[in-house]
């Protein structure tokens, strides 16, 4: 039976793959959840594209500072050891390969690791890209966190993206509410699956052709 795991369970699974001491950029949307579930046993330095390293959680009500916001324009705090720098340096860190892990949301991911996460509708809304393209090309490891299908059940993991690309051949690993998949030289390799899900069921909601690791693990639904 297809029973997806929760967003928080997905975030916990991503967090498990972030090592102590990593410099990490969390994309807007679902990836932000990862910051809430990384345990206190790890020291992670969060980067924000508007010039912050060592970004902390949201401030207490009343303590907000409009000059201290994250990429999603939400108020944040700075941890001891944190620093401010200008925009060009923020992107030197990203494009220059200094960020260890970038966690991004996605509209679509292709079996060769192409990412589409910036636009679906070119006609009625002005296009907006922000830092998505820089994050996708620059980080040492690009992790995608997304639901396995769209809200109306269409596959997001495809042989080829149909939406405009953010970057080509950049995604290393995809975390969905049904599986963890690596982008390998021969396409998507399933590493873990949600409890009770069969391989045929997973393939039925995936347009890209899947191969399965020798030792497919079980995703923790909690």
Partner 1 sequence: MIDKRVATLADAVAGISDGATVLIGGFGDSGVPVELVHALLDQGARDLTVVTNNAGAGESDVAALIRERRVRTVVCSYPRSMGSIWFEELWRAGEIGLELVPQGTLSERMRAAGAGLGGFFTPTGADTLLAEGKEVRTIGGRPHVFEHPLPGDVALVKAHRADRWGNLVYRKAARNYGPTMATAATLTVVQVEEFVELGDLDPEAVVTPGIFVDRVAEVAAS
Size of the site for partner 1 (CB under 8 A): 40
Q: Where are the alpha helices (DSSP H) in 18-106?
A: 32-37, 87-95
Decide if 132 contacts 107 (C-beta within 8 A): no
Which of residues 5 and 28 has its CB atom nearest to partner 1 in the complex? 28
Q: Please report, for residues 37, 38, 178, 217, the alpha-carbon distance to residue 32 in angstroms, rounded to integers and kept in the order given.
A: 10, 11, 19, 25
Regarding 171 and contact with partner 1 (CB under 8 A), the answer is: no
Regarding 25 and contact with partner 1 (CB under 8 A), the answer is: no
Which of residues 52 and 101 has its CB atom nearest to partner 1 in the complex? 52
Binding mask 48-67 for partner 1 (x = CB under 8 A): xxxxx------------xxx
Which of residues 79 and 210 has its CB atom nearest to partner 1 in the complex? 79
Which of residues 111 and 134 has its CB atom nearest to partner 1 in the complex? 134
Regarding 142 and contact with partner 1 (CB under 8 A), the answer is: no
CA–CA dist 194, 217 (Å, integer): 9
Regarding 79 and contact with partner 1 (CB under 8 A), the answer is: no
Distance of CA 122 to the CA centre of its chain: 23
CA–CA dist 50, 191 (Å, integer): 35
With vertex at residue 53, the alpha carbon angle to CA 50 and CA 57, rounded to the nearest 5 degrees, is: 90
Residues of the shown chain interacting with partner 1 in the complex, contacts defined by CB under 8 A: 48-52, 65-69, 73, 78, 84-88, 90-91, 94-95, 114, 124-134, 137-138, 164-168
Cite the active site residues. 49
């Amino acid at each position: 039976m297809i029973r997806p795991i929760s967003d928080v369970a997905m975030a916990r699974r991503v967090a498990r793959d972030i090592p102590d001491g990593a410099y990490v950029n969390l994309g807007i949307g679902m990836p932000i959840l990862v910051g809430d579930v990384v345990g206190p046993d790890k020291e992670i330095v969060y980067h924000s594209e508007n010039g912050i390293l060592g970004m902390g959680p949201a401030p207490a009500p009343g303590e907000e500072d409009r000059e201290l916001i994250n990429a999603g324009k939400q108020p944040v705090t700075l941890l001891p050891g944190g620093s401010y720098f200008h925009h060009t340096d923020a992107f030197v860190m990203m494009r220059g390969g200094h960020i260890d892990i970038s966690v991004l949301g996605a509209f679509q991911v292709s079996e060769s690791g192409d990412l589409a996460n910036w636009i679906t509708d070119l006609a009625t809304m002005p296009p907006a890209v922000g830092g998505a393209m820089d994050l996708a090309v620059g980080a040492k490891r690009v992790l995608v966190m997304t639901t396995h299908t769209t809200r109306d059940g269409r596959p997001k993991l495809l042989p080829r993206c149909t939406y405009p690309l953010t970057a080509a051949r950049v995604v290393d690993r995809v975390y969905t509410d049904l599986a963890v998949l690596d982008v390998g030289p021969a396409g998507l390799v399933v590493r873990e699956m949600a409890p009770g899900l069969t391989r045929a069921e997973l393939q039925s909601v995936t347009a890209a052709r899947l191969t399965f690791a020798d030792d497919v693990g079980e995703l923790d639904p909690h």
